[in-house]
Structure formats: structure tokens, C-alpha cells
Chains A and B, each alone.
Chain A
Amino acid sequence: MTGVRVRESPPLGVIAPFFLAAPLGLAIAGFILMRVDDTAFLAVNIPHLVAATHATVLGWLTLAIMGAIYQLGPSVFGGHLVSLRLARYQFIVHIASVVCFIPAIYTWNTYWMAGAGVGVVISFILFLINAIPAIAWFRRGSMPRMFISVALLFLIAGASFGITYVGDLEHGWFPITQGRLSGHAHLGLVGFLALVLMGVSYQTVPMFQVVRRGAARFERPVLIITTVAASSGALIFMTDPPPLVRVGIAIALAAGPALWIADVVRMLRSRSRRMLDVHTRATVVSLAFLVAAIVVGIAAAGGEALSPGGQPARLQLAYGILAIGGWGVSTLIGSSFKIVPFLVWNARYLHLAGREPVPSIADLSSERWNHATLGLHSLAVAVLAAGALGGQLAVVHIGGLLLAGAGLSHSLALVSVVFHHPASRASDSAPMKGLTT
């Protein structure tokens, strides 16, 4: 009866590295933000900000999404991975490329940026070879699958523009204007990340929060509106349109996520599981950040006229922090604290369950530690956004430190789950009847 086939999941050893390494990208972004100077308030395409953005997006968000797709594809969408070995190699190629790419951006070494950028593209190609059959690309019957299918097209488009821009920096084919940069950013942010996050949430929120059927109403409109807005909006952005047009695009880009917010609120209100766990709180926090990102993003599209202190990048920086760091990262923190213990439990204890006492999934991790990580991350994003909006460099640096701490805390929390020691936890959990047998 079930739509989830846990036995079809790839081995823990294939999936876990993606989730364990991903938060380190966030930590690196935090360390980079501790080093920015006040030019960050004047232009968002300075090396430090571009490096921090790509550390978060390629290092943290994309890596975690890759792991999640490798897991969800076979177990939820009925597909299969072409090769587990390919997935392992892809992880190595991705890590090696990102580890070279971020310092190259930070030092603005265009030669190394081009080389490492090619590595990232190779990683994406290897990923797609596995991901497309894993999710049964564009097969009808599942809206989350359709979201991810479309998102992979945007990944291809975003990466294509990205590697073209990197080559352009080395060879000087054409000027990379603010609009062209914005087009590339929104293909990645809205086209890829937002569609994946929204699509996966239509699967995971009902699953983890025990939501009754039919609570979500706008899945199809969200997908259609976001796809049209992201594709056409990114292309129009690349023509460097006037502020009024940019604001129009920003509103169109916000429409899909706004409908999705309504859906998630409906799902949360109709959930049977009323206890607030880290996934519930992360979902609520991420929604708050998304609302803030939408407001600030529309204002940022207005340009200098609306930017505080006449510094045009302050709103754009705050928008990026709220959207990527606030919405995207908070969502994935909540999901990873559910997905990783679930994977570990299935790998270690499923075959024992019913035969001998085993811990429950909640026993595999520390709820207190998980909440502390989420709280630290939320604080970091709020401080960073406040620093950007207020033009206070010291506040941005403090926010960077908090972000680095959240990334490290998150990584260590997940490591503790993967290397969970059964005896130590099971013995904590009272009598046999209280254990999962």
C-alpha cells in the first residue's frame, strides 16, 4: 500500500556523506561573511559575497538536495539510480570542485574559477545521469516529482549561464551586468532551489506532520506560476530592465512561493501531530524568512530609490540572506534532522525491529541539540539581515560568526546521528515496552 519503499533506498554510505558535508558549506559561508568589508553594501558582485553565496548554494543547499534526491527517487518516486558507484564519484567530484571554486572566487582568480567551474558542471552532469532515472523524470502521477523534474531543467539552465559567465570573466566576451547576474541567480534560486524545496515539502510536510489528505490546494498553480515567472523573469532580468519592470518581475516571482506559503500553513493547521518538533519549528521559521525575503526582494528590485542610505546593495544583500540563508537553509535543516535519522534507523535497526528492542527514530538524535542548531542559525540570519539593512559591518561580521557556528553545529549533530551508538541510547530509554520492538 505504501508509496514509500524504504528497501529501495540507496545504502546509507552513499547518501550520508552528502548530508554530513553539506553544512560545512554554510560554515564556510559564515567565515567568509566575517571578512567582508563595506563594499558589500555597494555591490553584491564583490568576490566575498559571490564566494559566500556559492559556498551556501553549491556547498550546502545543492549538496543536501542531491543527497535527498538520491534518497527520495528510488524510495518515493519509484525510479532507480544508474549506479551507486557513480553517485559516490559524483560526490567526490562535487566536493573537490567546490573546495577549489570557493577560494578561486574569494581571491577572484578567474583561471582557477574557470577550472573549478568546469568541475562543478561535470558534477552536475554526473548527478543528472543518476537523478533523472531516480525520480522517473516527468512521469505523471506525482506533483512533487513534477516540481523536481522542472527544477532539474532550471539547474541545467542556471549552471549553463554560470559556467558561461566564468568563462567570460577569463576571456572577456561581454560585460556581466547586474541584470545578467540577477538572471543567473534567479534561475538557480527560484527555478532550481525554490521548486525543489516547495516540491519536496509537498511530500515531506504531510509525511512528517501527519497531515490529512487534501490539505494542499495549490500544487499545480504553484508549479506553473513559478516555472513561467522564473524562466521569463530571468531572461528579462538579463536585459537590464528599468526598476518598474524589475518590480513587476519580483512580484511575479513571489506569486508561486506566496501560494505555497498558504498551502503549507493549511497543511500545518490540519496536522494530526500537534507536538512541535524541530521539523515543525524549522518549517515555521523558514516561512517567516520567506515572507521577509519576498517583501525585501520586491523592494530591492526597485533599486537605489528604495535602498537605505543610497547604498543599492543593502536591500539586495538582505534579500539574498533571507531567501537563501533564511528560507532555503532553515527548510533543509528541518528536513535533514528528519531524513538522516530516518535513513540511519532503516539501515541499522529495521532488520532488528520486532525481534529485539531497538531505539525509536527520536532516540537517534538530541532534540535539544537540533533545536539549538536551528535557533543559532535563525539568529545568525536575523543578525545578518539586520546588519545588511542597517549598513552595520560589525553586525554582519557577528552574523557571519553565528552562521559559521550554526553550520558546524549542524554538521556535528548529523555526524552524531550517523555514528549513533545503540547501547548508549537504548539504555537511556526506559523499559522494553517503551522501546520499538
Chain B
Amino acid sequence: MRPADVATILEDVIDPELGIDIVSLGFLYSISVDDSAVAIDMTVTSPNCPMADAIAAMVANRLARSCEGREIALEMVTEPGWEIAMADRSALQKLGIVRN
């Protein structure tokens, strides 16, 4: 399993409030994978995001399903803070910032 595979898996995780997947939103800062663990540094829109706990739980649950046998190490970070520039074009379209 490569970091890109983990990112693909996490495209299934949709921010319940925004309705956009966390990969498109640019929440994932780093993914590292080895034989025993998957380690992820990620963020959410703001330190006061009401869905932060929920999104962290969703990521952990989703990875637990697909990465059996590996330990999941999830770090929620605030620095650098999330910026809209981190989102990809599809997320920007759904947020209404750019047109289709």
C-alpha cells in the first residue's frame, strides 16, 4: 500500500457539514505508510470546526476497514492552518468559489 492508495481510500470520507471529500478539501497534510502503520497528519477548516472530532473518527474508521493489520496514527494539526488555496478545483466548485 502506497500513500496515494491511502488518499484514494480517504476520498470516501466526506465532511458532513460541507458535503465535500476531505482529500479535495486539502485536509491531508502528509501520509506515510510502512508495513506496520499508516501515519497521517491532517487538519480541518478551523480549530473551531464543529465536525473535527467526527471527521477524525471517520478517517480512523475508514482506514481501519482498509488497512487491517496496520496501526493507524492520526495527528490533527493546526499549523499551518487550512487555507482555501489548499482545496482542489472540484472542492472550489462545490463551495461556489469557482464556476463549473
Residues of A at the B interface (CB closer than 8 Å) are 1-7, 76, 203, 206-208, 210-213, 272-276, 342, 345-346, 349-350, 353-355, 360-362, 432-437
Binary flags per residue of B39-66, CB closer than 8 Å to A gives 1, else 0: 0000111111110111001111110110
CA distance A360 to B58 in the complex (A): 13
Cβ of B88 under 8 Å from chain A = no
Counting contact residues on chain B (CB < 8 A from A), the size range is: 35 or more
- A residues within 8 A CB of B13? 354, 436-437
* 22 A-B pairs in the complex with CB atoms less than 8 angstroms apart: A2-B52, A4-B49, A4-B52, A207-B50, A210-B95, A212-B84, A213-B46, A272-B97, A273-B18, A273-B96, A342-B17, A345-B54, A346-B54, A350-B57, A353-B16, A354-B61, A354-B65, A433-B11, A434-B14, A436-B13, A436-B14, A437-B14
Q: Which of B53, B65, B95 contacts A273, CB < 8 Å?
A: B95
Question: A2 to B59, Cβ gap below 8 A?
Answer: no
Question: B19 to A1, Cβ gap below 8 A?
Answer: no
Q: Closest CB-CB distance, A370 to chain B, in whole Å?
A: 15
Besides A1-B77, A435-B14, 8 more A-B contacts (Cβ < 8 Å) are A6-B50, A6-B53, A207-B46, A210-B18, A273-B96, A274-B95, A274-B96, A345-B16
Task: Decide: A1 near B52, CB < 8 A? Known: A355-B61, A360-B16, A362-B19.
Answer: yes
Q: Which residue of B lies closest to A432 (CB)?
A: B12
| 7 residue pairs, one from A and one from B, having the closest CB atoms | A354-B61, A274-B96, A2-B52, A354-B58, A275-B96, A1-B76, A272-B84
- A residues within 8 A CB of B97? 272, 274
Question: B54 to A350, Cβ gap below 8 A?
Answer: yes
Question: A207 to B58, Cβ gap below 8 A?
Answer: no
Cβ of B32 under 8 Å from chain A = no
Q: Which residue of A lies closest to B76 (CB)?
A: A1
- B residues within 8 A CB of A362? 19
CA distance A112 to B64 in the complex (A): 61
Cβ of B78 under 8 Å from chain A = yes
Q: Closest CB-CB distance, B89 to chain A, in whole Å?
A: 14
Question: A354 to B57, Cβ gap below 8 A?
Answer: yes
Task: Decide: A360 near B19, CB < 8 A? Known: A1-B76, A210-B45, A355-B65.
Answer: yes
CA distance A136 to B28 in the complex (A): 33
- B residues within 8 A CB of A350? 53-54, 57
CA distance A350 to B62 in the complex (A): 13
Cβ of B83 under 8 Å from chain A = yes
- B residues within 8 A CB of A360? 14, 16-17, 19
Task: Decide: A361 near B52, CB < 8 A? Known: A1-B78, A274-B95, A274-B96.
Answer: no
Question: A353 to B57, Cβ gap below 8 A?
Answer: yes
Q: Closest CB-CB distance, B51 to chain A, in whole Å?
A: 8
Q: Closest CB-CB distance, B96 to chain A, in whole Å?
A: 4
CA distance A275 to B49 in the complex (A): 18
Question: A212 to B47, Cβ gap below 8 A?
Answer: no
- A residues within 8 A CB of B60? 354
Q: Which of B48, B54, B78, B94 contacts A203, CB < 8 Å?
A: B48
Question: B53 to A354, Cβ gap below 8 A?
Answer: no
Binary flags per residue of B73-91, CB closer than 8 Å to A gives 1, else 0: 0001110010110010000
- A residues within 8 A CB of B61? 353-355
Q: Which of B54, B76, B77, B84 contacts A6, CB < 8 Å?
A: B54
Q: Which of B16, B58, B64, B81 contacts A213, CB < 8 Å?
A: B81
Question: A2 to B45, Cβ gap below 8 A?
Answer: no
Q: Closest CB-CB distance, A215 to chain B, in whole Å?
A: 11
Question: B19 to A2, Cβ gap below 8 A?
Answer: no
Task: Decide: A2 near B76, CB < 8 A? Known: A207-B49, A437-B62.
Answer: yes
- A residues within 8 A CB of B49? 2, 4, 207
Q: Which residue of B lies closest to A5 (CB)?
A: B53
